[in-house]
Chain A
Amino acid sequence: MFLNKHGVLNDTIYLRNIFMIRGVSVNSSHDSMITVQGLTKEYGTQTALDTISFQVRKGEVFGFLGPNGAGKTTTIKAILGLIKYKQGAIALNGLDIVKQGKLAREVVGYLPERVAMYANLTAIQNLQFFSELKKVSEVDFDGLLVEYGLGDVGKKKIREFSKGMVQRLGMAQAILGSPKLLILDEPSGGLDPRGVRLIREKIRAVKKNGTTVFLSSHILSEVQAVCDRIGIIHKGRIVAEDSVSVLGKKLDLKPRITVQLESITPAIKDAIYAIKNLNTIEISGNTIEVVCNAEQKALVILAIAHAGGNIINLQTEEPSLEEVFIRYTED
Chain B
Amino acid sequence: MVHPIVSVAKKEILDNIRNFWLILVTLIFTTLVFFASWAGSLNQSWANLGILISQILAPIVHAIAPIIGLILGYSCVVGELEAGSLPLLASHAISRTDILFGKLIGRGFILLYSIVFGFGLGVFAIAFNVPDADYGAYGIFIAATILLSFVFFCLGVFISTLFRRRSIAMMLSLGVWVVFIWIWPLITTIMIFSLYSSFLEKATLSFSIPTWFYIVDLFSPVTVYDRLITLTISPNLTGDLGAIPIPSFYSAELMVGLLMLWIGSVMVCGLFRFHRMDI
Residues on A lying within 8 angstroms of B by beta carbon are 77, 80-84, 101-103, 105-106, 108, 110, 112, 114-121, 125, 129-130, 132-135, 137, 170, 173, 183
Contact = CB atoms under 8 A, between A and B. Distances in A.
B2 A132 contact: yes
Interface-central residue, A81, A133, A135, A173, by most chain B CB under 10 Å: A133
Interface string B5-39: 00100110011101000000000000000000000
A172 B5 CA distance: 23
B279 A129 contact: no
Interface stretch (B83-91, B194-202, B252-260): B83-91
Task: Give the 9 A-B residue pairs with the shortest CB-CB distance, closest first.
Answer: A116-B84, A110-B91, A83-B278, A132-B7, A133-B92, A82-B279, A106-B93, A116-B85, A114-B84
Contact of B93 (A77, A82, A133, A173): A133
B1 interface: yes
A99 to B, nearest CB: 12
B15 A118 contact: yes
A29 B276 CA distance: 30
B15 A80 contact: no
Contact of A116 (B83, B91, B276, B279): B83
A70 to B, nearest CB: 18
6 contacts: A102-B94, A120-B18, A129-B10, A133-B89, A135-B93, A173-B88
Given A116-B88, A133-B92, 5 more contacts: A81-B90, A82-B278, A116-B83, A118-B15, A173-B88
Contacts of A135: 1, 93
B185 interface: no
A77 B278 contact: yes
Contacts of B1: 132, 135, 137
A148 B222 CA distance: 52
B11 A118 contact: yes
B91 A82 contact: yes
B276 A105 contact: no
B165 to A, nearest CB: 15
A80 B91 contact: yes
How big is the B interface, by class?
Answer: 20 to 34
Given A112-B87, A120-B14, A101 B279 contact: no
Contact of A118 (B4, B85, B92): B85
Contacts of B87: 77, 80, 82, 110, 112
Contacts of A115: 84, 88
Interface of B: 1-2, 4, 7, 10-11, 14-16, 18, 83-85, 87-95, 276, 278-279
B2 A105 contact: no
Nearest to A74: B278
B85 to A, nearest CB: 4
Contacts of B95: 101-102
A77 B91 CA distance: 9
B278 A110 contact: no
Contacts of B83: 116, 119
Contacts of A84: 276, 278
A183 B88 CA distance: 11
Nearest to A125: B14
Contacts of A118: 11, 14-15, 85
Given A77-B87, A84-B276, A112-B84, A121 B92 contact: no
Contacts of A121: 11, 14-15
Contact of B85 (A83, A110, A117, A125): A117
A82 B84 CA distance: 13
Contacts of A116: 83-85, 88
B91 A105 contact: yes
B81 to A, nearest CB: 10
Nearest to A126: B11
A114 B7 CA distance: 23
Contacts of A132: 1-2, 4, 7
A63 B269 CA distance: 40
Interface-central residue, A102, A130, A134, by most chain B CB under 10 Å: A102
A247 B36 CA distance: 77
Contacts of A80: 87, 90-91
A176 to B, nearest CB: 10
A13 B63 CA distance: 62
Given A83-B278, A84-B276, A116-B83, A103 B91 contact: no
A198 to B, nearest CB: 20
B136 to A, nearest CB: 38
Contacts of A134: 92-93
Contacts of A183: 91
Contacts of B16: 120
B90 A82 contact: yes
A82 B2 CA distance: 23
